């Protein structure tokens, strides 16, 4: 008998491997080459799986950084910064990256970004930056970033890959942050199980699972902020198709909290 | 040289193993014995790790089921059911399990449960039930359920375990559902990294990660609804302390969306 004849039906194990040797990334760096080398250092073939890469190193490689000294805050940014105890130049950058502020309070700005995501500070971050005077923005188009990385890794011989770009978001109602997908290539971000039946034969009420967000959250377990793990390789999750961020964003007209 | 001398610093891989041979569960079943046997069937020692168990089998084992035929809907339930095209008896059970309705629209009831969680239909589910006329409620106290299961598994020889009870929730702003923790024992649901510094030496802005929710989401990748995997064993994630659901719930007074 082969192993497959003796195994029970159902999914096989999932393995998450941290890429622990990606060096500090700066504008213009070849991320695919750095990840290729880091995977090699782990003895990891980096094929047939999902590479989760944190947004920060993609933004840095793409030069999505703004020196606060170059920023002239508008009146609204100065007012918000005074009320919330923030740097008005940081607030100015947040406003530039937002199409609107969904909610403000307790020193927090929940913004809808130009990409359609809702998150704190429009994803503009002051941590993990080369200097205290630099803000790191979200990638211009994280799906395109994922597609480029996927193509470059394929050119380096890595086959059967998908890429998920992850970022760390808060949620209403719950404490603590979780990692979510902000862009992808080579996998279906949403698994549509409408019409499926559960093990009693009843049609499922749950209709769609956010696979890419679950993958990002899983990888987040290894992206502990001071451990220097900006990428995680996930094996054992079916790719299920192709798609990007738009699949994960609820139509604002159908959203009860916007 | 030993492996630890050659390995780079940082976290080791995480492994998620599905328990594929847990049978259908009914009221009064000994869940620990069923899980013990299912782990054995996978060749899994079930020690030194986190056991994620879906809420549904815990609720069923605890008899948290209501026959719709036994339910007399109040006027409000009848009115909501008419407006939303629902079974008024289902709505009645949802209202009983709720302290208030946070938002209603598009046929969806977002409720604050008696436990303090905010979720659709107060977690009352009609799928995966023994018959079409039965609703499954959330456990009375999922932390207590997790503690009992942990103690029973310890008595069966499983050491170094933590238990996370997971359920599948929607989110504002994003499509698709993700699995979250609704109760735990033996691990710290929130990893507090305040005061930590990133790899450039700067103090982190991100202060707390929802470890238990990330663990639930990771396990959710294997709890595909028609695959019959109601439990997943997670190895490689530090337990970090002890705590429960209350750690994951935002104080309503500090919540911008309640």
d(CA A13, CA B43): 12
| Beta-carbon separation of B174 and A210 below 8 A | yes
Q: Which residues of chain B have pLDDT under 70?
A: 1-8, 127-132, 194-206, 225-226
How far is the C-alpha of A206 from the C-alpha of B224, rounded, in Å?
11
First to last CA, chain B: 56
| A8 inside 8 A of chain B by CB | yes
Residues 136 to 165 of A: which have CB under 8 A from any B CB?
Answer: none
Tens-place pLDDT, residues A119-149: 999 999 986 555 668 999 999 999 999 999 9
pLDDT given at position A2: 41
Q: How far apart are CA B44 and CA B23, in angstroms?
A: 17
Nearest residue, CB atoms, B176 vs list A172, A210, A229: A210
Distance CA B134, CA B56 (A): 13
pLDDT for position A129? 58
Strand-pair category, B178-185 with A161-169: unpaired
How would you write chain A as a 3-class SS string? CCHHHHCCCCCCCEEEEEECCCCCCCCCCCHHHHHHHHHHHCCCCCCCEEEEEEHHHHHHHCCCEEEHHHCCCCHHHHHHHHHHCCCHHHHHHHHHHEEEEEEEECCEEEEEECCCCEEEHHHCECCCCCCCCEEECCCCCHHHHHHHHHHHHHHCCCCCEEEEEEEEECCCCECCEEEEEEEEECCCCCEECCCCECCCCCECCCCEECHHHHHHHHHHCCCCCCCCCCEEEEECCCCCCCCCHHHHECCHHHCCCC
- Whether A13 and chain B come into contact, CB under 8 Å, resolves to yes
User: Which residue among B174, B176, B200 places its CB closest to the CB of A128?
Assistant: B200
CB contact under 8 A, A257 and B180: no
The whole-angstrom separation of Cα A195 and Cα A204 is 7
B236 contacts in A (CB within 8 Å)? 16
Least CB–CB distance from B228: residue in A10, A177, A224: A10
Residue to substitute from A9, A14, A120, interface B, most B β-carbons within 10 A: A14
* Chain B neighbors of A14, CB-CB under 8 A: 15-16, 218, 221-222
What residue of B is the nearest CA neighbor of A198?
A: B226
- Across the interface, whether the CB atoms of B256 and A200 are under 8 A apart is answered no
Q: Which residue of A has its CA nearest to B119?
A: A173
Question: How many angstroms separate the CA atoms of A122 and A93, rounded?
Answer: 9
Domains annotated on chain A, with CATH: 14-63+139-249 (3.30.1330.100), 65-134 (3.90.1660.10)
Is the Cα torsion angle B145, B191, A181, A163 positive or negative in sign? negative
- How many whole angstroms separate alpha carbon A62 and alpha carbon A136? 10
CB atoms B209 and A247 under 8 Å:
no
**pLDDT tens-place values along chain A, 258 residues long:** 344 445 667 889 999 999 999 999 999 999 999 999 999 999 999 999 999 999 999 999 999 999 999 999 999 999 999 999 999 999 999 999 999 999 998 888 999 999 999 999 999 998 655 566 899 999 999 999 999 999 999 999 999 999 999 999 999 999 999 999 999 999 999 998 766 655 555 555 557 999 999 999 999 999 976 678 999 999 999 999 999 999 999 998 888 888
CB contact under 8 A, A177 and B127: no
Give the CA distances from residue B24 to residues A108, A177, A236, B66, B179, in Å, rounded to whole numbers and listed in that order: 46, 34, 25, 18, 21
Mutation for testing the B interface, residue in A131, A218, A223, A238 having most B CBs under 10 Å = A218
Question: Is B123 an interface residue toward A (CB < 8 Å)?
Answer: no
Which residue, A12, A249, A256, is CA-closest to B232? A12
Give yes or no for A254 touching B (CB within 8 A).
yes
User: A186 CB contacts (<8 Å, ≥6 apart)?
Assistant: A50, A146, A150, A161, A162, A163, A239, A242
| Cα-based angle B57, B58, B62 (whole degrees, multiple of 5) | 115
Say whether the ipTM exceeds 0.90: yes
**Which helix (H) or strand (E) covers residue B241, if one does?**
none
Facing residues of A183 across strands?
Answer: A165
CB of B125 less than 8 A from some CB of A: yes
Q: Is A79 on the interface with B (CB under 8 A)?
A: no
Shortest Cα distance, chain B CAs vs residue A249, angstroms: 5
- Structure token digits, residue B130: 């023994």
Using alpha carbons only, how large is chain A's radius of gyration in Å? 20
**A175, A225, A226 member nearest B210 (Cβ):** A175
């Amino acid at each position: 008998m082969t192993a497959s004849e003796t195994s029970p039906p159902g999914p096989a194990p999932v393995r998450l491997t941290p890429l622990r040797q990606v060096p500090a990334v700066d504008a213009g760096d070849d991320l695919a080459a750095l990840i290729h080398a880091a995977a090699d250092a782990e003895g990891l073939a980096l094929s047939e799986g999902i590479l989760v890469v944190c947004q920060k190193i993609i933004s840095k490689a793409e030069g999505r950084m703004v020196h606060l000294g170059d920023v002239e805050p508008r009146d609204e940014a100065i007012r918000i910064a005074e009320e919330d105890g923030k740097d008005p130049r940081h607030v100015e950058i947040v406003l530039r990256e937002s199409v609107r502020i969904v909610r403000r309070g307790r020193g927090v700005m929940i913004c809808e970004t130009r990409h359609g995501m809702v998150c704190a500070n429009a994803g503009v971050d002051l941590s993990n930056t080369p200097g205290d005077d630099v803000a790191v923005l979200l990638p211009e188009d994280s799906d395109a970033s994922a597609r480029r990385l996927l193509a470059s890794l394929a050119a380096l011989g890595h086959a059967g890959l998908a890429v998920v770009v992850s970022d760390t978001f808060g949620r209403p109602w719950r404490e603590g942050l979780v990692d979510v997908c902000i862009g992808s290539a080579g996998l279906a971000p949403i698994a549509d199980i409408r019409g499926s039946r559960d093990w009693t034969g009843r049609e499922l009420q749950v209709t769609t699972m956010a696979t890419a967000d679950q993958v990002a959250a899983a990888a987040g377990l290894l992206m502990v902020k001071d451990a220097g793990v900006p990428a995680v390789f996930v094996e054992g999750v079916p790719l299920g198709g192709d798609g990007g961020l738009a699949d994960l964003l609820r139509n604002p007209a159908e959203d009860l909290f916007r």
